Structure 1
Amino acid sequence: MRGVVIGIVLAGTLGISVLLHSYVQDTGSRSQSSSGFISLSPGLTETLFALGAGDAVKGVTQFCLYPPEAQERVSVGGLLDPNYEALVALNPQLIFMTPYHRDLRREMRRLGLSYEIVPQDTLPEIRESFLHVGVLCGHEEEGRKLVAALDRHMSAVSELVRDREKMRVLLVTGRNEHSGSLQEVYAVSTGSFLSDLLEIAGAENCVSGAVAEYPALSVEGILHLDPEYIIELVEKDPQTALPKLMAPWHALSELRAVQNSRVKILGGSHFTIPGPRITQVLDAFVAALHPDLKECVL
């Protein structure tokens, strides 16, 4: 657990030149008359605002809802299908994209739009994105401060749970809530930022080595894993629909997590967004796994 935090910090310190090279080589041509930024990712939008560059953000996707000020910017369409006319009209200095936008590069170049591909899939990548985006938007010092605050937070949590026994946890990010049963259950596998946060919080992800980052699990697969704890992430406040959400889990009475009342439903759109609010996600994991530490982190 402490090794995860130390490894992340070292990766950021020793591997920054490699990561920066991967960013820079995907930059398109820049126009001297252009200004401001466009973000095609909620995580990068939140990063820009957290760095203090919000005033320079001219356009965002329809899914960039935080901070609230982001909703006042021009909407340039969806995550993977932006409105190119809107992009050109805004004439940005730079468009921030993720590796999932690689298929857009050819059209961006054709239109003469400058872009930067910034990965945020893993915890080290999120950490490095704060530094790199900070440099690109003229807020380098703020980027360093954001990373330092993240490092301190992770180290403090790691120390807080250091002597706790690790529990095998199934972390669920989605399922068919309308079926009344556990269908199309998507779990978090090792290698993602959510799995890293789970480990720092003092748990062991019971889904490891999967080909997909968010593999689909059958009921039989869940029974085979038999996790000690289940945490399900939903987008909205789960309290009003909690009995309905919990019922399918309670039906699996063979599971140790169910027998020991260790099934937790956590609500909030920020849980699956890589960016500055991952410290809140980490704290929520700690509070769910270690109720006696709730007041220490929330």
Structure 2
Amino acid sequence: MLRQINMPKDVMPDLIRHPVYSWIPAYAGMTTIVAKVIIFFLTVLLMVICAEISCADEFRDETNRLVRIHSVPRRIVSLAPGITETLYALGLESRIVGVTTFCDWPVAARLKPRIGGFTNPSIEKIVALKPDLILATADGNRRETVLQLERLGLPVYVTNPSDTRSVLKSILRIGEITRQKKNARRLVGTLQKRLDCVTAQTRHRDKPRVFFQIGLEPMVTAGRGTLINEVIKRAGGVNVAGADLANYPRYSAEGIIGASPDIIVFAPMINDNKFEAVKRFWKNFPEVPAVKNRRIYPIDADLINRASPRLFDAVEIMAIFFHPDINISATCCPNDIPLSGH
């Protein structure tokens, strides 16, 4: 137990004036100043941290909507096949709780709970999954669907990729909002290298005229504002419908004959495996260079229609169609992201 020591009053002044204790008043003043400085800097630091946390939860999506995400997303619903593929590529499969009926790649995605179609998802099913993040696309999901989910208080981030550059940007943004920045940067770096490699090998070559055929009856192609047009260009070709303002204009056989394509690339519609029928059809038009030189090729429509990392597979495959003597697989494809189907 501490005891109070009573010293004579006449001794106290001398003791305080002793050299050993002469620093006490100065130190006391200094301590007060230091304490105030420390408190000030701690306050500023706390304000900065709070501001950063607040800003980190708010994002501008690719349609310039402000989206607030309250935590690290753990229950993600994807409203587009390309988004689902991107989530898997980023290693986020365990966080996906719902996908559309069209989300069929990778194969594991088919086992995820279904929330309906691409353009008509079930709001009730989405709500029942209790998502903390919904990812949609401006190109395929209806604006009314986004607004309905938003009114229910659910965070909906909308992507809007239109070319390879914006696909890479979308991957980075999805990585940011899911707190997977490192994986997203690594993936984008790999995809960009693959794209650069194709460009380097095709830049100075003659560019063949390409007709991209979707289906047989009716015969549809891809115009200027499509990912397909972008892939043809990136692969070192010229889209014969690239100047068409319509995204997916219809063409007659006569129109294609007039366009005189060097190459025809055929993508079957859903449940439409008619490549042999297409080749038989074009045998009736031997004057078309692509027919005469037997340069009619099939491609998986999902590769070229979906804004996902597999779009870069499509660029490489098309580059091989256009320039058969280049060696894309050996020179452009790292082991971690192989060509689909190769």
The TM-score normalised by the length of structure 1 is: 0.82
Secondary structure of the corresponding residue to residue 58 of structure 1: strand
1:278 to 296, 300, 311: 311
Tell me which amino acid in the other structure corresponds to 1:202.
G
Identity percentage of aligned residues = 26
Q: Write the mapping of 1:186-205 to structure 2, written as runs, cut at 5 A.
A: 186-205=220-239
**Partner Cα separation in structure 2 for residue 235 and residue 273 of structure 1:** 14
Secondary structure of the corresponding residue to residue 107 of structure 1: helix
Structure 1 residues 32 and 184, CA gap change in structure 2 (3 angstroms): same
Residue aligning to 1:180 = none
2:157 to 104, 116, 133: 116
**Partner Cα separation in structure 2 for residue 79 and residue 124 of structure 1:** 24
Secondary structure of the corresponding residue to residue 286 of structure 2: coil
Structure 1 residues 103 and 129, CA gap change in structure 2 (3 angstroms): same
Structure 1 residues 31 and 132, CA gap change in structure 2 (3 angstroms): closer
The Cα of 1:252 is off from its aligned counterpart by 1.6
Residue aligning to 2:18 = none
- Structure 1 contact 123–192 (Cα < 8 Å) conserved: no
Structure of greater relative contact order (alpha carbons < 8 Å, 6+ residues apart): 1
1:133 aligns with 2:167: no
Deviations 1:123-151 (A, max 9, x none): 22211101000001110111111111111
Structure 1 residues 185 and 36, CA gap change in structure 2 (3 angstroms): same
Residue segments in structure 2 that go unaligned for 5+ positions in a row: 1-58, 333-341
1:61 aligns with 2:106: no
- Structure 1 contact 201–282 (Cα < 8 Å) conserved: yes
1:264 to 292, 297, 307: 297
- Structure 2 contact 73–178 (Cα < 8 Å) conserved: no
1:155 aligns with 2:196: yes
Larger radius of gyration: 2
Aligned CA-pair RMSD: 2.5
Tell me which amino acid in the other structure corresponds to 1:103.
E
1:98 aligns with 2:109: no
Deviations 1:91-141 (A, max 9, x none): 111100011322212211232221011113322221110100000111011
Secondary structure of the corresponding residue to residue 106 of structure 1: helix
- Structure 2 contact 268–275 (Cα < 8 Å) conserved: no
**Partner Cα separation in structure 2 for residue 30 and residue 269 of structure 1:** 30
Residue segments in structure 1 that go unaligned for 5+ positions in a row: 1-19, 177-182
Secondary structure of the corresponding residue to residue 125 of structure 1: helix
Tell me which amino acid in the other structure corresponds to 1:214.
Y
1:216 to 235, 247, 250: 250
**Partner Cα separation in structure 2 for residue 138 and residue 37 of structure 1:** 13
Structure 1 residues 133 and 30, CA gap change in structure 2 (3 angstroms): closer
The Cα of 1:191 is off from its aligned counterpart by 3.3
Secondary structure of the corresponding residue to residue 185 of structure 1: coil
How many residues matched? Answer: 271
- Structure 1 contact 189–215 (Cα < 8 Å) conserved: yes
Deviations 1:63-87 (A, max 9, x none): 1011122122110010011111111
1:231 aligns with 2:265: yes
The Cα of 1:245 is off from its aligned counterpart by 2.5
The Cα of 1:273 is off from its aligned counterpart by 1.7
When structure 1 is superposed on structure 2, of 141-150 and 189-198 the one drifting more is 189-198
